[in-house]
Amino acid sequence: MKSQYIKHYLKTVKSLIPAEYPQKKQLLAGLEFNINSYISKHPNATMKDIYDVFGSPESIAEQCGYIRVPTEERADSFTIKNIIAIILLIVLLFAVFVILIGTGVLDEYLDAFLEKLSRPMFYF
């Protein structure tokens, strides 16, 4: 079996376990050692054999009690969070606008602004 497949397998496991997992380095080193030992005893082993013996990268991450959310799901949830934040911001601005109209503050401001606009800007 080619070592590039094993490297990809280990890289996938590494990407699924968050950096803050306490024994991440030890886990990956032990997994790599065990896989290499298995391959040395079973030189004709395939990736299917590795998955059967050691499990999928996702199952290893789940056994650790940690699994990182794939990037695509994070991007989708981030977009949903942005939409919710924008809607809340619009509602908040609308509420402030209604309060300003109700108290008459906005009318006073607009009157003063229109008065300034009606005066000539330049004197010749």
H-state helical runs in the chain? 3-16, 24-41, 47-54, 57-63, 71-103, 105-118
Q: Are residues 47 and 76 in the same domain?
A: no
123 occurs within a structural domain: no
124 occurs within a structural domain: no
More confident of the two residues 33 and 116 = 33
pTM (whole model) above 0.75: no
Question: pLDDT tens across 97-108, in order?
Answer: 888 888 887 778
20: containing domain: 3-63
The structure tokens listed for 61 are 């991450």
Q: Are residues 59 and 88 in the same domain?
A: no
| CA 96 from centroid of its chain's CA atoms | 32
